A and B are shown apart, each in its own frame.
Chain A
């Protein structure tokens, strides 16, 4: 119990002191996970809508793949992304190994299937005749897509929250492709692991609390949006 109090005190101390290293880590955490979530939304929402509405041979395989990858262990993702980005890997020409860009790629692999899968489930829950009704009211393909996304907004916001949660909370992938380099690729999760491995539990707990606070703040904002949608 004492360690927890020490961690709380340390968190307060770090935030109050305005430690530039901490703020740099927090900013990078937000930048990497925010970008990964945004890219996952841009790819995952249209893909989820398409998979929910389309019927074609092989669809079951793709849906199964999406569902399987919703639970990918981050360390496995990190390993495979690293293999592709290493100097000898097929994507080595990108030259992004051990940079925040590599971490964004890895987090996209984690968050993308979550956004896709939950979007697909949300759209599938709508009345199947709604698509026909909207077309019958004169919706173009894009208008139909947008209206269905709006109608399933509660589920899609949940999908975004799940994607963001998956991205910001993972550590294995960021560690493997980012390397936890101070000032370059160190984020809250990798810093926490490092501090705990050094036996500095108070700092580790402090960082984890800041991460939780950050995650809660953003998720709370999305929840408010979701509940406003629920009242409409």
Chain B
């Protein structure tokens, strides 16, 4: 697979404090790359840096193999991406207006806008909420709206920063399945930050493990969880192995 995004020599150190130091990082077209690691590892910062939302230093920033000039091309590139965060961060408007926001920012209006918004609301099963003020939504509904707001843009690259962390386990499971279906149907490339390892097999094609602002290992979920590259990664993935062992029949644990 060819790389949609490739960055070399990424550094982010506001006030001299090192947050990110990533010599090379790439995301292949169409893949979902999960990013895991402890709190403060730099997962969200990595997304914000490659999403051109923070003023990080890049040795080189390549998009579809072409070297991009920053910050000159920053806005044009940002408009090929979208992000869903843990907080739904909806504006104090109706659901319809929230979902239409990104398209409006791109100058899309009229019937074209309406069709795209209503179609996306329908695909996410929230068409009945279109006229409801965003502040009157439940947590699960708000996060569906947030997802619809990002997906309606048909982004080439979607950033998902613990989008379902605040949802209960049933809502999260449903959202994950819906998300995977939409990503596959629209062939959207995604970076997915999560602390919940059970989400990885549902959505991720590959996993990147971060510690202290560095990427320590990138590979398939099977490779990362079964062949950790260093002791820190081993300690992190051990949590998943412990969980699996706990769920085995008691006779198997003896």
**Contact (Cβ within 8 A) B153 A232:** no
Task: Please give the number of chain A residues whose Cβ is less than 8 angstroms from any Cβ of chain B in the complex.
Answer: 18
**Contact (Cβ within 8 A) A137 B149:** yes
Q: List residues of chain A with CB within 8 A of the CB of B83.
A: 132-133, 136-137
Nearest CB in chain B to that of A153: its residue = B92
A-side interface mostly: helix
**Contact (Cβ within 8 A) A232 B101:** no
Nearest CB in chain B to that of A231: its residue = B133
Of B74-82, B181-189, B198-206, the segment with at least 4 beta carbons within 8 Å of chain A is B74-82
Task: Please give the number of chain B residues whose Cβ is less than 8 angstroms from any Cβ of chain A in the complex.
Answer: 25
- Does chain A have a CB within 8 A of B91? yes
**Contact (Cβ within 8 A) A138 B106:** yes
Q: Convert B88-102 into 0s and 1s, putting 1 for each residue whose CB lies closer than 8 angstroms to a CB of A.
A: 010111100000011
Q: Which residues of B contact A (CB under 8 A)?
A: 48, 51, 53, 75, 78-79, 81-83, 85, 87, 89, 91-94, 101-102, 105-106, 133, 149-150, 153, 159
* Besides A135-B53, A229-B92, 7 new A-B residue pairs in contact (Cβ under 8 A), listed by A number: A132-B83, A132-B85, A137-B83, A138-B78, A138-B82, A140-B75, A140-B105
The 29 sampled A-B contact pairs (Cβ below 8 Å) are: A129-B85, A130-B89, A132-B48, A132-B53, A132-B83, A133-B89, A135-B53, A136-B51, A136-B53, A136-B78, A136-B83, A137-B83, A137-B101, A137-B105, A137-B149, A137-B150, A137-B153, A138-B75, A138-B78, A138-B153, A139-B105, A143-B105, A151-B91, A151-B92, A229-B92, A231-B133, A232-B93, A232-B94, A232-B133
Q: Which residues of A contact B (CB under 8 A)?
A: 127, 129-130, 132-133, 135-140, 143, 147, 150-151, 229, 231-232
